[in-house]
Structure 1
Amino acid sequence: MSDATTSDPGTRARPVDVSERVALLDVLRGFALWGVFVSNSFAWFSGYVLLPRAQAQALSAPGLEAVVSGLYHFFVNQKFITLFSFLFGLGFSIQLARAEARKSSIVPLYSRRLGVLLAIGLVHLVAVWAGDILSTYAVLGFMLLLFRQRSDRTVLTWAGGLLVAVPLLAPFVQHYGPILLHGAQAAAQAAKASNEIDLRAKEQLLAGLSSDSFWTAQAANARFLTHMVPQSKRLLWMASILGRFLLGLLAGRYLLLQEVERRRSWHHRLLFWGLVLGVLGNGAGVVMQRLRLAGLVDPARDPWMLAMSAVMEVGFLGLAAAYVAAFALLFQRERWRRVMQVLAPVGRMALTNYLLQSVVSLCLYDGWGLGLIGKLPPSRCVALTLIIFALQVPFSHAWLSRFRFGPAEWLWRSLTYGRRQPMRLAPGDAPASMTG
């Protein structure tokens, strides 16, 4: 959900015109938004991760549901948030290049953009849904500013540390640290107590969201934040998001998606190695998940499983890289470009569509709405998500045939630039679906 300013030297910053956008980035952003929506719906909006283990297993146990769940974990889970984060970092790189072309500093404008995004995210986080990503992106976006003048080697080193070293070392520190400090018995009791607190917080959230009162549901959402935000695993998750930002920053510096033809050999290598690492990493993750559900392995008694976080992170990165490379290479073919352009308006309105997905999902799943939370098996949840996203595609096309921005994007830009942005397309302007 990133934007960029113009590259005209000597002019003041303004949002990019439709004709100045990189069409492939909008297409990829639309594709990423679909996957993020599937993930959010599958795990959170549906209440799946809030259910007791036995109830969750019963929903996903039948043959079709087990297949759908396996496909989700292999192809979707964490791959699209990886892709979305990568695009955020790449968008920052583009904005940085355009600011340098104007011979101006990116810091003031970008800081205002992030400040507005943080405000929107906090409202979404507290008043709508505790799983908000916007506030996290805004906070970590400020950290991106620290890397704007760092060398490629430094950026790559930090990315590798955040994405591989941290997931590899942190589980061992979390597991063995309390044992060394307090002894095995005390550490086991503390872990059990922490797990019970986590289960109780999820039970309370599920009960609140199942209520037929809108205010009870939203109050439960807000209370859950006090449990979720201080957790150490959230810091680990934020570290991985920042690492993905940095990979996007590097890709932007090397014009990986701005000049695909020049980087075609890179994309072929990304596609090959991404598939290899993606299949190995995600395959191992799916197998381990099935073994854990069957009670055959347990991190408490099988310490080697602590390394699975790093293995799975490599799998997430690999498959996300393969998606990027495949889209970039196919986009160079005229026939495929026409098909893929269908997603471009969705990507241009990513902020609006993301917020809309949350609101619609609450209406469908929460008790004050249709009350589907905790009741839909994986296949029906995914089918419902596909229907909603399919409706967002023509909505985005229709909106951008008349207006320059989505409504949330218009608000974001107007507050960022401190002046009301023109909303309607001027006569002669091409609608979004006609550009590329």
Structure 2
Amino acid sequence: MDVEADQRDGGQEVTTPASDSTDRIFSIDVIRGVALMGIFSVNIIAFAMIEAAYFNPPAYGGWRGADLALWATNMLVIDGKMRTLFSMLFGASTLLVIDRAEAAGHSGAQVHVRRMLVLLGFGLIHFYLIWFGDILTLYAVSGLVAFMFRHLPVERLIALGAAFLVVGMLIFAMFMVSQYQADVAAHAANATREAVKKWNEGLGSFYPSAAKIAEDKALHLGPWTGLVSDNLKDWREIFPNTLAFMPDTIGLMLIGMAGFRSGFLTGEWDDAAYRRVVKIAIPVGLAACAAIVAYDISSNFYIIGVFSAFVILATPFITIMALGYAALIILASRRHGWLAQRIAAAGRCAFTNYLGTSLIATFVFYGWGLGLYGSASRWQAWLLVPLVWLVILAWSKPWLERFNYGPFEWAWRSLARGKLQPMRKRRALPLPA
């Protein structure tokens, strides 16, 4: 919770706005800003074409030349790492909010639960009315669970976070075994109609037929009401997906809490320690991801292998690599240069920017907007990414120079507190000489 300080001297009041830079942790803001922009750079494919193309490039959007190079670069450098960073920072920010609430004499539990319930509401609206790739619902539910471990010491937070990651890996391992069995049964000489249906409704959907692609394209190029109706028709779908990814997300939040408590994410370590993390973590992560990229291409993107490698085997390496990225970002932003300040402002407005990217991308690709869905190759769709990055960097800092919060941050805070929060910053009156 932000702190608002009032000082009185000679009958004059000097006000420090609630979101003044003195109440921020710069390293957390700038890491969050980088993670936010990185997430959009991989999500763009899910906005622009059929979902299957995200993990299976041959399904749609091109998988040779520039298209393959873009997929490989994203998989090697960005995919999974930015979401991991974002999840860790959510855990760190959770502790930050709770600590400040309790320091101000409020109930940390009540403040946190209200924030998560409001976030859950935003997430459900985002999922059903805007875009199926919502992550807010997962964060809200996972955040309620992660809260229970907030008092654990750093070492236990790390150990428990790792345990949650292992649980998530085991859940997906069991799912992959069942999908492999479904694959074998569906492609057997005497395959039953039921076996074929089971495979096609599972990971077999990542090999879409021409009819399925045409159906998906017609849906997304149709009216907005058609998309909403389709989402509401399968309204239960969000719940099993959320439950499946909860262990991994909770684990990352707990590791983020440890990063906050230890001073790692707040920039309190010395530069030599951060350099050691960078030199070890990033090369290890890159080597593992390079092996996954090589396997995926050599297997012609066999979807069970693709998922098993990325969601299960790569999890510890992606986590380590994300920590290396955090250390690198902290080192690169030590001097608070102009670019770091712009990115930090984007991180402070991460909620607005996250929802804003969904609105921009769906406008560009969906039928209710420009209607480019399914008409751009992988690299062509990605051209929107740097343009959106420029928009994010251009508006966030000037906005925060005038206002306390981003628009959706203000709505989240106001709803969670049950009253409208001060939006426009008040200019501080000079102290008397």
Decide whether the 8 Å contact of 1:109 with 1:416 is kept in 2: yes
Q: Structure 2 matches for 1:111-260, cutoff 5 A?
A: 111-164=113-166, 166-167=168-169, 169-176=170-177, 192-198=196-202, 199=205, 206-207=216-217, 209-227=219-237, 229-231=239-241, 234-260=242-268
Cα distance per residue 1:27-72 (max 9 Å; x no partner): 1111111011112112x10124345999845632331221111101
Distance in 2 between residues matched to 1:338 and 1:211, nearest whole Å: 40
| Alignment size in residue pairs | 407
TM-aligned CA distance change 1:81 to 1:259, over 3 Å: closer
**Larger displacement relative to structure 2 (149-158 or 198-207):** 198-207
Distance in 2 between residues matched to 1:19 and 1:69, nearest whole Å: 40
TM-aligned CA distance change 1:205 to 1:265, over 3 Å: farther
Report the alpha carbon displacement of residue 237 of structure 1 after superposing the two structures with TM.
Answer: 2.3
Decide whether the 8 Å contact of 1:128 with 1:359 is kept in 2: yes
**Larger displacement relative to structure 2 (50-59 or 151-160):** 50-59
TM-aligned CA distance change 1:383 to 1:299, over 3 Å: closer
The unaligned stretches of length 5 or more in structure 1 are 9-13, 430-436
Q: TM-score, normalised by structure 2?
A: 0.83
TM-aligned CA distance change 1:241 to 1:72, over 3 Å: same
Decide whether the 8 Å contact of 2:364 with 2:370 is kept in 1: yes
TM-aligned CA distance change 1:218 to 1:205, over 3 Å: farther
Report the alpha carbon displacement of residue 137 of structure 1 after superposing the two structures with TM.
Answer: 0.7
Q: Structure 2 matches for 1:15-94, cutoff 5 A?
A: 16-42=19-45, 44-50=46-52, 56=58, 59-94=61-96
Q: Please tell me whether residue 106 in structure 1 is matched to residue 108 in structure 2.
A: yes
Query: Alignment partner of 1:293: what SS?
Result: coil
Q: Please tell me whether residue 288 in structure 1 is matched to residue 295 in structure 2.
A: yes
Query: Alignment partner of 1:369: what SS?
Result: coil
Please tell me the residue identity of whatever aligns with 1:255.
G
Alignment partner, residue 356 of structure 2: 356
Alignment partner, residue 433 of structure 1: none
Please tell me the residue identity of whatever aligns with 1:360.
I
Decide whether the 8 Å contact of 1:402 with 1:425 is kept in 2: yes
**Larger displacement relative to structure 2 (207-216 or 413-422):** 207-216
Please tell me the residue identity of whatever aligns with 2:229.
A
Decide whether the 8 Å contact of 2:221 with 2:373 is kept in 1: no
Distance in 1 between residues matched to 2:121 and 2:18, nearest whole Å: 20
TM-aligned CA distance change 1:263 to 1:102, over 3 Å: farther
1:269 paired residue among 248, 267, 276: 276
Query: Alignment partner of 1:61: what SS?
Result: coil
Distance in 2 between residues matched to 1:54 and 1:29, nearest whole Å: 28
Cα distance per residue 1:361-402 (max 9 Å; x no partner): 111111232221122122222211210221122122332232
Alignment partner, residue 324 of structure 2: 322
Cα distance per residue 1:260-290 (max 9 Å; x no partner): 3x44343223212211321122112211211
Please tell me the residue identity of whatever aligns with 1:409.
E
Distance in 2 between residues matched to 1:123 and 1:298, nearest whole Å: 31
Alignment partner, residue 14 of structure 2: none
Please tell me the residue identity of whatever aligns with 1:137.
Y
Alignment partner, residue 345 of structure 1: 345
**Larger displacement relative to structure 2 (390-399 or 216-225):** 216-225
Alignment partner, residue 11 of structure 1: none
Decide whether the 8 Å contact of 1:281 with 1:314 is kept in 2: no
Distance in 2 between residues matched to 1:53 and 1:340, nearest whole Å: 32
TM-aligned CA distance change 1:298 to 1:148, over 3 Å: closer
Query: Alignment partner of 2:240: what SS?
Result: coil
Alignment partner, residue 12 of structure 2: none
TM-aligned CA distance change 1:90 to 1:61, over 3 Å: same
Cα distance per residue 1:179-220 (max 9 Å; x no partner): 99x9x8599867743331243897597245433322112222
Distance in 1 between residues matched to 2:178 and 2:353, nearest whole Å: 43
Decide whether the 8 Å contact of 1:274 with 1:317 is kept in 2: no
Instruction: Please give the root-mean-square deviation of Cα atoms over the aligned residues, in Å.
Output: 3.3
Q: TM-score, normalised by structure 1?
A: 0.83
TM-aligned CA distance change 1:367 to 1:149, over 3 Å: same
Decide whether the 8 Å contact of 1:404 with 1:425 is kept in 2: yes
Distance in 2 between residues matched to 1:55 and 1:68, nearest whole Å: 11
Distance in 1 between residues matched to 2:405 and 2:282, nearest whole Å: 36
Cα distance per residue 1:118-141 (max 9 Å; x no partner): 111111111111111111111111
Distance in 2 between residues matched to 1:52 and 1:86, nearest whole Å: 24
Cα distance per residue 1:310-345 (max 9 Å; x no partner): 33112321321121111111222x3x6333111122
Cα distance per residue 1:343-363 (max 9 Å; x no partner): 122111111111111111111
Alignment partner, residue 420 of structure 1: 420
The unaligned stretches of length 5 or more in structure 2 are 6-16
TM-aligned CA distance change 1:153 to 1:194, over 3 Å: farther
Distance in 2 between residues matched to 1:127 and 1:81, nearest whole Å: 22
Percent identical: 26
Report the alpha carbon displacement of residue 226 of structure 1 after superposing the two structures with TM.
Answer: 3.7
